[in-house]
Chain A
Amino acid sequence: MDGILGEVSLWSGVDVGRELSLFSPMLALSATMLAIVACPLILGRGPRMIATVSVLGVLVTLVLTMQVGRAVAGGGASGLSTTPEAGLLIADNLSVAFLLVLCVFLLGVMLLWWIGSAETERNAPEFFILLIGSALGMALMVSTANLLMIVAAIETASLPSYAIVGFDKRDRKGAEASLKYMVFGAVCAAIMLYGVSLLYGLAGSLSVQDIARYAVAQLGGGENRLLLAAALVCFVAGVAFKISAVPFHFWCPDAFEGAKIEVTTWLSVASKAAGLILLARMVVIFSGAVSSPLAMHILDPLAWAMGIMAAVTCTVGNFAAYRQTSVKRLLAYSSIAHAGYMLMAAAAFLHPASLGAESGLAALIAYVVVYVFMNLGAFGVTAMVAWDTGGDGIENFNGLMRRAPWLAVPMVFCLMSLIGMPIFAGFVAKWWILVALGNVGHTLGWTLTVVLALNTLFSLYFYMRIVVQMTLRDDGRPMVRASSGGIALVNFCGLALLVLFFFADPFKQATDRFSRNLVGPKAAKTATSLLGPSSESSASSR
Chain B
Amino acid sequence: MSEHLLSWIVFLPAIGALLCLFVPKRQVRTVALLATVLTLLLSLKLFGTFTGGGGDSSAVFGTRYGQLHHVERATWIQIPGKLNIEYFLGIDGLGFPLFILTTVVSFLACWASWNFHEWKINKGVRAYFVLFLLLETGMLGVFVSLDFFLFYIFWEVMLLPMYFLIGVWGGPRREYAAIKFFLFTLAGSVLMLVALVAMYFYGGAGIEQAGGTIASGYRQGVQLTHGTFDLIELAVNPVIQRHFAAVSTTFLGMKFAPLMFMMLFIGFAIKLPSVPVHTWLPDAHVEAPTPISMILAGVLLKMGGYGFLRLCYPIFPSGGSTWAFFLAVVGVVSILYGALCAMAQSDFKKLVAYSSVSHMGYVLLGIAVMTDVGFQGAMFQMIAHGISSPMCFFLVGVIYERAHHREINRFGGLWLTMPRYGTMATIGFFASLGLPGLCGFIGEVWVVLGTFAAAKNPAMPWAYTMAILASSAVILTAGYILWLIRRVYLGKEREEHEGFPDASRRETWILVPMAVLCIALGVLPQQMVFNFTNGTLNLMLNLVTGAPAMVG
A residues sitting closer than 8 Å to B (CB atoms) are 356, 359, 416, 421-423, 427, 434-435, 437-439, 441, 443, 446-447, 449-450, 453-454, 456-457, 460-461, 464, 468, 471-473, 504-505, 508, 512, 535-536, 538-540, 542
Is B200 a contact partner of A464 (Cβ separation < 8 A)? no
Tell me if B187 is interfacial: C-beta within 8 Å of chain A: yes
Give the chain A neighbours of B191 by CB distance below 8 A. Answer: 453
Query: Measured between alpha carbons, how far is A539 from B193 in the docked complex, in Å?
Result: 21
Q: List 14 A-B contacts (CB under 8 A).
A: A422-B157, A434-B197, A437-B197, A441-B201, A454-B190, A468-B167, A471-B168, A472-B167, A472-B168, A508-B77, A512-B79, A536-B209, A539-B208, A540-B248
Q: Which 6 A-B pairs have the closest CB atoms?
A: A453-B190, A438-B201, A539-B205, A438-B197, A422-B153, A505-B77
Is B156 a contact partner of A421 (Cβ separation < 8 A)? yes
Give the chain B neighbours of A461 by CB distance below 8 A. Answer: 179, 183
Q: Given known contacts A453-B190, A454-B190, is B164 in contact with A438 (CB within 8 Å)?
A: no
- What 0/1 readout, one digit per residue, does chain B (203-245) give for beta carbons within 8 Å of chain A? 0010011000000000000000000000000000000000000
CB B499 to nearest CB in A, in angstroms, measures 33
Is A449 a contact partner of B205 (Cβ separation < 8 A)? no
CB A14 to nearest CB in B, in angstroms, measures 38
Is A453 a contact partner of B193 (Cβ separation < 8 A)? yes
Is A457 a contact partner of B186 (Cβ separation < 8 A)? yes
Query: Measured between alpha carbons, how far is A304 from B209 in the docked complex, in Å?
Result: 27
CB B247 to nearest CB in A, in angstroms, measures 13
Give the chain B neighbours of A427 by CB distance below 8 A. Answer: 156
Query: Measured between alpha carbons, how far is A416 from B164 in the docked complex, in Å?
Result: 13
Task: List the B residue with the shortest CB-CB distance to A465.
Answer: B179
CB A358 to nearest CB in B, in angstroms, measures 10
Is B175 a contact partner of A468 (Cβ separation < 8 A)? yes
Query: Measured between alpha carbons, how far is A472 from B121 in the docked complex, in Å?
Result: 11
Tell me if B252 is interfacial: C-beta within 8 Å of chain A: yes
Is A447 a contact partner of B197 (Cβ separation < 8 A)? no
Give the chain A neighbours of B174 by CB distance below 8 A. Answer: 472
Q: Given known contacts A421-B160, A439-B201, A508-B77, is B250 in contact with A542 (CB within 8 Å)?
A: yes
Tell me if B449 is interfacial: C-beta within 8 Å of chain A: no
Query: Measured between alpha carbons, how far is A107 from B77 in the docked complex, in Å?
Result: 30
Give the chain A neighbours of B252 by CB distance below 8 A. Answer: 443, 446-447, 450
Interface residues in B134-158 (C-beta closer than 8 Å to A):
152-153, 156-157
Query: Measured between alpha carbons, how far is A504 from B248 in the docked complex, in Å?
Result: 35
Q: Given known contacts A416-B160, A468-B179, is B167 in contact with A435 (CB within 8 Å)?
A: no
CB B23 to nearest CB in A, in angstroms, measures 17
Query: Measured between alpha carbons, how far is A457 from B175 in the docked complex, in Å?
Result: 18
Query: Measured between alpha carbons, how far is A77 from B188 in the docked complex, in Å?
Result: 48
- For B187, give its contact among A443, A457, A536, A540 (CB under 8 Å): A457
Query: Measured between alpha carbons, how far is A368 from B409 in the docked complex, in Å?
Result: 59
Is A505 a contact partner of B197 (Cβ separation < 8 A)? no
Q: Given known contacts A422-B153, A461-B183, A536-B208, is B198 in contact with A438 (CB within 8 Å)?
A: yes
Number of interface residues of B (CB under 8 A): 42
Is B77 a contact partner of A504 (Cβ separation < 8 A)? yes
Task: List the B residue with the shortest CB-CB distance to A456.
Answer: B190
Give the chain A neighbours of B250 by CB distance below 8 A. Answer: 542
- For B83, give its contact among A435, A447, A471 (CB under 8 Å): A435
Interface residues in B479-504 (C-beta closer than 8 Å to A):
none
Give the chain B neighbours of A454 by CB distance below 8 A. Answer: 190
Q: Given known contacts A453-B190, A505-B76, A539-B205, is B198 in contact with A423 (CB within 8 Å)?
A: no
Tell me if B400 is interfacial: C-beta within 8 Å of chain A: no
CB A440 to nearest CB in B, in angstroms, measures 9
Is A535 a contact partner of B208 (Cβ separation < 8 A)? yes
- For A472, give its contact among B153, B175, B201 (CB under 8 Å): B175
Is B157 a contact partner of A472 (Cβ separation < 8 A)? no
Tell me if B194 is interfacial: C-beta within 8 Å of chain A: yes
Task: List the A residue with the shortest CB-CB distance to B248.
Answer: A540
Is A471 a contact partner of B186 (Cβ separation < 8 A)? no
Give the chain A neighbours of B164 by CB distance below 8 A. Answer: 471
CB A168 to nearest CB in B, in angstroms, measures 38
Query: Measured between alpha carbons, how far is A461 from B186 in the docked complex, in Å?
Result: 11
Tell me if B509 is interfacial: C-beta within 8 Å of chain A: no
Is B193 a contact partner of A471 (Cβ separation < 8 A)? no
Tell me if B78 is interfacial: C-beta within 8 Å of chain A: yes
CB B210 to nearest CB in A, in angstroms, measures 11
- For A422, give its contact among B76, B78, B152, B182 (CB under 8 Å): B152
Give the chain B neighbours of A423 by CB distance below 8 A. Answer: 153, 157
Interface residues in B353-411 (C-beta closer than 8 Å to A):
none
Tell me if B178 is interfacial: C-beta within 8 Å of chain A: yes
Tell me if B326 is interfacial: C-beta within 8 Å of chain A: no
- For A450, give its contact among B194, B202, B208 (CB under 8 Å): B194
Give the chain A neighbours of B209 by CB distance below 8 A. Answer: 536, 539
Give the chain A neighbours of B75 by CB distance below 8 A. Answer: 505
Task: List the B residue with the shortest CB-CB distance to A440.
Answer: B201
Give the chain B neighbours of A416 by CB distance below 8 A. Answer: 160
CB A524 to nearest CB in B, in angstroms, measures 17
Task: List the B residue with the shortest CB-CB distance to A542.
Answer: B205
CB A222 to nearest CB in B, in angstroms, measures 33
Give the chain B neighbours of A449 by CB distance below 8 A. Answer: 194, 197-198
Query: Measured between alpha carbons, how far is A454 from B153 in the docked complex, in Å?
Result: 18
Give the chain A neighbours of B198 by CB distance below 8 A. Answer: 438, 446, 449
Tell me if B435 is interfacial: C-beta within 8 Å of chain A: no
Give the chain B neighbours of A512 by CB distance below 8 A. Answer: 79
Task: List the A residue with the shortest CB-CB distance to B179.
Answer: A464
CB B419 to nearest CB in A, in angstroms, measures 40
Tell me if B341 is interfacial: C-beta within 8 Å of chain A: no
Tell me if B279 is interfacial: C-beta within 8 Å of chain A: no
Is A460 a contact partner of B153 (Cβ separation < 8 A)? no
Query: Measured between alpha carbons, how far is A360 from B531 in the docked complex, in Å?
Result: 49
Give the chain B neighbours of A421 by CB distance below 8 A. Answer: 156, 159-160
Task: List the A residue with the shortest CB-CB distance to B187.
Answer: A457
Tell me if B119 is interfacial: C-beta within 8 Å of chain A: no
Q: Given known contacts A472-B174, A539-B209, is B78 in contact with A505 (CB within 8 Å)?
A: yes
Query: Measured between alpha carbons, how far is A427 from B149 in the docked complex, in Å?
Result: 12
